[in-house]
Structure 1
Amino acid sequence: MRFTILGLVGIVTNNELTPIAGRRQRILLASLLLAGGRLLTNEQLYNELWGDDPPHNAHNALQAQVSRLRRTLSRLSASCDDTPPMVTHSAGYVLKVDPSAVDMHTFRSRATEAKRVADTDPGRAVDLLDSALALWRGKPLQDVGNSPLCHSMAVQLEEEYLTAQETRLELKLHCGRTEEAIGELRAISVVHPWREQITEMLMLSLYHVGRRAEALETYHSARRQLTDHLGIEPSRRLKDTLRVILHEEPAAIPRTRPVLVR
């Protein structure tokens, strides 16, 4: 049995994903998974499930949600015989799941390994990041609403995803896979026009393959986005990259930040 939060919250058995029915059931499962085997108190779970408006009988309502989740886990594990134990304490609940069974932890493990080998074996680092990013099936925790724990983790995970993408593309450029990287950089820059790291890599990649005019247009397009929508100018670093291209100076592909891991 495996668990997904990098997209829909669900349970995978026999390579088949079963989404979890009911928003509060999804919040409960996601919260317990995010806790990583640590106790979530009853009060924390009241807040996750009902926010500032818990039911009058919140303790009984929580017990009912836990019992329902236990039945779901038991039913789905019938064919694989590995139901993770949900332990009840007087203060709350713990779901004991092997981290390797949760896609978030697998993503982070592969990203960490990619960071470790990036300098000595960039090709392998690219493959590791490819396999890490392939785990994503959309926005993380996309079907749980705005519960505090899930929302904050979704924001953090999206940043980790984008940083892993940037690192992967930088490594591709250093491996000489420039044309391949240019297409991906263009696609990401459309979706995330404020990521100046992406703009910088795209400008320098185009410049390195002799597409200087396109590199300059990439800068001016990014500048228009920043000034029209945010009312700010590009960073000094991006302006320095523009100067390098205008003056046809030698330039290296920039190094990205390390892949973010918890």
Structure 2
Amino acid sequence: MDFTLLGPIGIVTANGHVPLAGSRQRILLASLLVSGGRLLTNEQLYSELWGDDPPHTAHNALQAQVSRLRRTLSRLAEPSRPAPALVTHSAGYVLKVEPARIDMNVFRRRIAEARQIADRDPMAAIGLLESGTGLWQGKPLQDTGASPLCHSTAVQLEEEYLAAHETKLELKLRCGLTEDAIGELRAIGVVHPWRERITELLMLALYRVGRRAEALETYHSTRRQLTDHLGIEPSRRLKETLQVILREDPVPAATLRPAPLSVLVR
């Protein structure tokens, strides 16, 4: 069986995706999965499942949740996709899952592979990045509430997703897929208006295809949002990009060179 974290928490069998009923079952499974095969202590799991106010019977309640999850895993097991072992230790629990069975790990592995080949084969790297980001089915670790471990992992994953998407678009511009990149850059810019790298890439893409006026308006629109809502000016890098367009300079090749993808891999 496989497991999904990049969207709704669930289990994938030969019959499809099976969501988990019950918020604490989702939190328990997600916490064990994101721990990467490391022991989660009873105290950590109390915090994940009940926050700062665990019940007086937390130990028994945790045992009940673990037993219920074991039954679910056993029920969904198949000869070709056996259930992973949910191991009890005196201090806590470990779920022993092959990393490749968790979509989060597959995403990160594809990002790492893209990093390795980006310079020598940018088109193949684009394919890997699209394949990795295509695994996402919504916000990561959905329906896990305020669980500390799940929440912090979700925030980290969202940043990795955005950075991977930015890098993919940088590579598209390097490969001359400018018109294709423009549409994606506009869409991301609407959802994430404060990411200046998206603004910079959109300005350069528009400028490269002769839409200089739109590139300049993109800068001024972003500047208005930054000053009106955050009280800050655009970064020096964005201002330098503006000057390139105002002077009608060629786009420097270094400007479209993606940052190392190693920052995306944990």
Q: What's the TM-score bracket when you normalise by the shorter of the two chains? A: over 0.9
Indicate the SS of the match to 1:185: helix
Residue 138 (structure 2) pairs with residue 138 (structure 1)? yes
Whether the 8 Å CA contact 2:13–2:81 is kept in 1: the answer is: no
Measured after TM superposition, the shift of residue 251 of structure 1 is 1.6
Measured after TM superposition, the shift of residue 80 of structure 1 is 4.3
Task: Calculate the TM-score normalised by the size of structure 2.
Answer: 0.96
Whether the 8 Å CA contact 1:10–1:18 is kept in 2: the answer is: yes
Query: Partner residue of 1:211?
Result: 211
Indicate the SS of the match to 1:3: strand
Measured after TM superposition, the shift of residue 234 of structure 1 is 0.5
Measured after TM superposition, the shift of residue 79 of structure 1 is 6.4
Amino acid at match of 1:96: K
Query: Partner residue of 2:242?
Result: 242
Whether the 8 Å CA contact 2:42–2:92 is kept in 1: the answer is: yes
Query: Structure 1 residues 13-22 or 131-140, which shifts more?
Result: 13-22
Whether the 8 Å CA contact 2:171–2:256 is kept in 1: the answer is: no
Find the aligned partners of 1:216 and 1:82 in 2 and give their Cα distance.
57
Residue 186 (structure 2) pairs with residue 190 (structure 1)? no
Query: Partner residue of 1:93?
Result: 93
Find the aligned partners of 1:19 and 1:217 in 2 and give their Cα distance.
45
1:255 pairs, out of 251, 257, 264, with 257
How do residues 3-152 of structure 1 correspond to structure 2 at under 5 angstroms? 3-14=3-14, 16-78=16-78, 80-152=80-152
Find the aligned partners of 2:228 and 2:79 in 1 and give their Cα distance.
56
Whether the 8 Å CA contact 1:6–1:104 is kept in 2: the answer is: yes
Task: Calculate the TM-score normalised by the size of structure 1.
Answer: 0.98
Residue 162 (structure 2) pairs with residue 158 (structure 1)? no
Find the aligned partners of 1:180 and 1:56 in 2 and give their Cα distance.
57
Amino acid at match of 1:255: R
Indicate the SS of the match to 2:18: strand
Measured after TM superposition, the shift of residue 15 of structure 1 is 5.4
CA 1:15–1:192: 2 relative to 1, 3 Å: farther
Deviations 1:20-70 (A, max 9, x none): 111110000000001111110101101110111001011100000000000
When the two chains are superposed, the root-mean-square deviation of aligned CA atoms in Å is 1.0
Sequence identity percentage? 73
Measured after TM superposition, the shift of residue 143 of structure 1 is 1.1
Question: Which ranges of structure 1 fall in alignment gaps of 5 or more residues?
Answer: none
Find the aligned partners of 1:81 and 1:36 in 2 and give their Cα distance.
19
Find the aligned partners of 1:27 and 1:258 in 2 and give their Cα distance.
33
Deviations 1:202-244 (A, max 9, x none): 0001111111001001101111111111111111110111111
Find the aligned partners of 1:7 and 1:26 in 2 and give their Cα distance.
12
